[in-house]
Structure 1
Amino acid sequence: MPFLADDTRAALARAQELDAATPTPASALDRLSAVRTLIAALEADAASLTAVREALASGADWGEIGAAARLSPAAAKARWQGDDAAIAERQQASRKRSARPSAKPTDLPGLSVAEAADKLGVTAQAIYLRVTRGQLEAQTIELPDGRKYKRVFLPEG
């Protein structure tokens, strides 16, 4: 009985078909698509997790599993340790982290503390001190995704 899922075997067959294409080789985009489809299928396939669980049951340790998977023992353990619910929970937490934007928004009101400091020719610490003393107005803006930004509003003129 094959250890790969049907989707994974189909993606592998497509990659092999493109690899063997003669006399006209497959286009670069077709090859790229086939490779990425195969990678995604392999990542989603339960074959790796099943093999890890069988290896653990037969006495293998995380060092051996990591070496076979070309991962560090800690990375292998973080990826495959626990039951299905624990693994799914770690994957979901990872997705939440990676879904956050990596760039600061540019459409916030006012100036950042660094921008205000540059404009006034002082340090960021001086801006915070002036805000604390009530000499400058500032607000903390919270975005829907939970990120917070201190924004400074300089007096007009």
Structure 2
Amino acid sequence: MRTGDAENETDALERLRDIRSLLEELQKDPATLAAVREAIGNGIGWEAIAEAACLKPAAAKWRWQGTDADIAERHEAGRKRAARPSNVPTDLPGLSVGEAAARFGVSSQAIYLRITRGQLRAETVELADGRSYKRVFPDDSPAS
């Protein structure tokens, strides 16, 4: 594929999307769940099942452990969690460590190091419900 060939790039991306969609449909296939249940019935452990499915054991259990109702409830709860907005307050003072890292073009670890060295001022803001957030105040900091 030539670089800059938009038609070929679009075709390649569409193929990738189609492959991913097919994989997702195969995961939903009752035959997959039946095979997992048969393996469990034959005494095969989650480690081996996960390896065969190219998953980690926790992911395999999340997808296939329990009754049909348990699985459906777990998947529905996961969809609801993914759809809701973040519960991190947006009206906190200063910047989050991640926002400060993006502003300075460095990693979060570099921001923490600058805080430790006194190059950046930071405070931990604690909310009434007990949650706490590290906030960085780059405008109040000594020049680095």
* TM-score normalised over the length of structure 2: 0.51
Distance change in 2, residues 1:92/1:64 (3 Å): same
Counterpart position of 2:79: 95
With over 3 angstroms needed to count, the CA separation of the structure-2 counterparts of 1:113 and 1:78, relative to structure 1, is closer
Correspondence for 1:18 = none
Structure 1 unpaired stretches of 5+: 1-24, 107-111, 116-122, 129-157
Q: Which moved more, 1:79-88 or 1:59-68?
A: 59-68
Instruction: Report sequence identity in percent.
Output: 51
> What is the rounded CA distance, in whole Å, between the counterparts of 2:56 and 2:124 in structure 1?
41
1:71 and 2:71 matched: no
Deviations 1:33-79 (A, max 9, x none): 42133123112212221110011111211121112112222322222
Paired positions, count:
95
Tell which structure's C-alpha radius of gyration is larger: 1
- The answer as to whether partners of 1:114 and 1:124 remain within 8 angstroms in 2 is no
Cα deviation code 1:80-105 (max 9, x no counterpart) = 11000000010011001000134979
Q: CA deviation at 1:28?
A: 2.3
Unaligned runs of 5+ in 2: 1-7, 95-122, 128-144
- 1:62/1:77 contact within 8 Å kept: yes
Q: Report runs of 4+ in structure 1 exceeding 6 Å deviation.
A: 103-106
TM-score (norm 1): 0.47
CA RMSD of aligned residues (A): 3.6
Q: String of CA shifts for 1:82-130, please: whole Å, max 9, x gaps.
A: 0000000100110010001349797xxxxx2416xxxxxxx676xx8xx
1:37 & 1:113 partners in 2: Cα distance?
39
